[in-house]
Amino acid sequence: MAVNPFTQFVFDLFIISAIIITAYTVNFYYLAFISRTRKESRPIIDWGTPSVTIQLPIYNEKYVAKRLVDSVCNLDYPKDKMRIMVCDDSDDDTVELLEDVVNDYKKQGFQIEHVRRGTRNGYKAGSLKHAMKSTDTDLVAIFDADFIPPTWFLKRAIPHFSKSNIGLVQCRWGHVNENYSTITQVQALSIDFHFLVEQKAKSNSHLFMNFNGTAGIWRRECIEDAGGWHTATLVEDLDLSYRAQMKGWKCLFLPDIVVDAELPAQMNGAKRQQFRWAKGSIQCAIKLLSDIGLKRNVAIEAKIQAFIQLTRHIVYPLVLIQFLTLPILLAAQVNLYVVSVLPVLTIATYLAMGPGAYMIVIRGMYHKSWKSKAKLLPALLVYNAGMSVNNTVAVFDAVLGKKNEFHRTPKYGIVTKKDDWRDKAYNLPFTQTTLLEIFFGVYGIMGIFISIFSNNPVFIPIIGIQAIGFFYIAYMSLSHTRFKRNKSSDNRPKTKKEKMANTVYKLSMIGILGIIIFGAYMAISGYNSDIYPLDRIRGNLDGIVSSSDPEMIRGHLIAIQADLDTVMVNLPETTSADGTVISKNPVWIFATESTNFLRIQSNIDAMFAGVDEISSISKDNSAFHTGMLDINDRALLLRTNIMDATPYMYVSPANIMFSVIWIAAIIGIFAALKRKKEQLNKSDEEN
């Protein structure tokens, strides 16, 4: 059966996306296999107590900055061998807080200094680059503000610089607030996948691994040999570690040395962190891949794995492409089953490639405690699906070369479930990305209906998980939004402007909820009036093809005529010079006769006439068989015509106009919220 060019293009897009996503997924399982089977002996030597500089890049971290400095100064290491550089680019209360803390430790004999460079140029990378100008120790340890190094950290990590080519020792991230909420639990599981699978596999082989920006120790000579810190990307850690390995340096991952850190508790903070990682990785791919590919001393497998790691975030746009194309293909009755028409094998393949394989990986990672972690897998699938919009925007930002701005992930000193972040400074409002998440969620609901009415219920869980993910991320982004002036004291009463901003926020939430409900109602109503009748027509045409009873065929034709009348009312018309309607076609650009509903109507009329004619003829008569063949041929042709027309019903002028109005309404609400936020920021600057 011929497929129209549009459907063929969508199908090709779907299949190509599926192949690429599958390749990246299989590679993750390959790394999981390596992480468990390859063991690299790591001799350690007693270095004694070499001098080490500990650099602490900080920007507006008043809730965790003191905790970090306290933990570093509490390290079990000689004071005269440990130089501490508090690299503070803050412009809020953090500055005064750190001045007091640093002065207190100076009085206790610590070599600690409060480094203020007077600018944020280059953000974290710029701060570390500035610190390296006055660093003369052999080793450099780095901790972000939300980390809490254990007292034994240096004594256990430093001996692993046993070989002269080891440039970096990266330690595993722990999670001080893992059980705070579902958000922190799924983040912890995702981060553990990275460290215990990817980092472990690469460290135990000749593959490139990356520095994670914190909880690691560098050999100063390695940093300098690799060209130092660059500010061209948002992930300076990934950039430097890859440049170092291209120079021949080896990076080690130590899974047994765990440094606890605070996970983002606010959804908007988690999205910001994910955005930075996704955009930065693609930036590094653009910057480094050509050099890695041309480097002769880099093994082929290492080059392939470097390409996969640096480009892996393109999976998110591909996931969205699949999500968008799947309902269109289902509506066009394209067979997407793995084996012929066996839906059970389709869902079994999906489960085996996804959740099933991940269960095996989790069991290998956590051993006795794997069952408690496995229970989080559904939540992780929903979380990752919902994050695909946020990370897709990040990928396009990088590809299009949008200007870099390093937005840090705010932390609040959250450790126990009793701790609260909602009334603290640094809270983030939702962004325009939430609009897209809502759109994809509503689209997912339509996709579920299409799966039902096209008799493809096997795809409901696949579409449903993603739709739930989009709504969940959007809901949490909205519910976690707070408007608070970051530079003010936490204990002061709210100002009139803040109260007004929160009132606008609450009204906006009501407005957005109303728009979503109205949009969902219109989408379902539109599907019921425009698309579902075409599905019923196809079903009745199938009934005609499989029947040889004229009365039964007549019944199908009557049902088809009723649905055809419903659909044709809203179709755009084309008239001749004398005003005669010559076409009713949903394809309003480059229309063809195959989707002209007047032509479809004429075929239905011919089928009615054919049924009337053969009803009075004996079934043994050759004329009866000739008439039935004609009816069957017309039914098959009409089925193809209806399938060709179905995708275009979604993009009718009326639907496009409604979508534009719907999106404009939500953008208007976003604009009002943004205006209030800017007013608060301006007030902060004036004060």
Residue type, 129: K
Query: CB-based contacts of 248: which residues, under 8 Å, 6+ apart?
Result: 165, 297
DSSP string of 80-128, one letter each residue: GGEEEEEEE---STHHHHHHHHHHHHHHTT-EEEEE--S--TTHHHHHH
Query: Structure tokens of 459?
Result: 């795809």
Answer yes or no: are the C-beta atoms of 218 and 167 closer than 8 Å: yes
Half-sphere exposure of 422 (CA within 13 A, CB side): 10
Query: Structure tokens of 2?
Result: 């011929």
Closest C-alpha among 557, 582, 561, 562 to residue 572: 582
Cα 113 from Cα 135, distance rounded (Å): 12
H or E element that contains 258 = strand 250-261
Helix %, strand %, coil % of the chain (to 5): 65, 10, 30
If DSSP codes are grouped into helix, strand and coil, which group holds residue 147? strand
Query: Structure tokens of 553?
Result: 């065929």
Residue type, 548: S
Half-sphere exposure of 637 (CA within 13 A, CB side): 18
Cα 635 from Cα 560, distance rounded (Å): 11
In this structure, what is the dihedral angle of CA atoms 431, 435, 440, 442, given to the nearest 10 degrees?
Answer: 140
Write the DSSP symbol of residue 510.
H
Half-sphere exposure of 585 (CA within 13 A, CB side): 18
Cross-strand partners of 581? 575
> Is residue 92 among the annotated active site residues?
no
Query: Structure tokens of 405?
Result: 């701005």
Q: Of the residues 88, 144, 192, 237, which is catalytic?
A: 237
H or E element that contains 250 = strand 250-261
Closest C-alpha among 397, 438, 403, 389 to residue 670: 438
Answer yes or no: are the C-beta atoms of 166 and 249 closer than 8 Å: yes
Answer yes or no: are the C-beta atoms of 212 and 251 closer than 8 Å: no
If DSSP codes are grouped into helix, strand and coil, which group holds residue 57? strand
Write the DSSP symbol of residue 178.
G
> Is residue 89 among the annotated active site residues?
yes
Closest C-alpha among 123, 144, 314, 132 to residue 234: 123
Cross-strand partners of 171? 254
Cα 319 from Cα 201, distance rounded (Å): 26
Query: Structure tokens of 159?
Result: 């001996």
Q: Is 326 exposed, middle or buried (0-12, 13-18, 19+ CB in 10 A)?
A: buried
Cα 561 from Cα 581, distance rounded (Å): 19
Q: Of the residues 88, 89, 239, 530, which is catalytic?
A: 89
Which residues are marked as active site? Answer: 89, 237
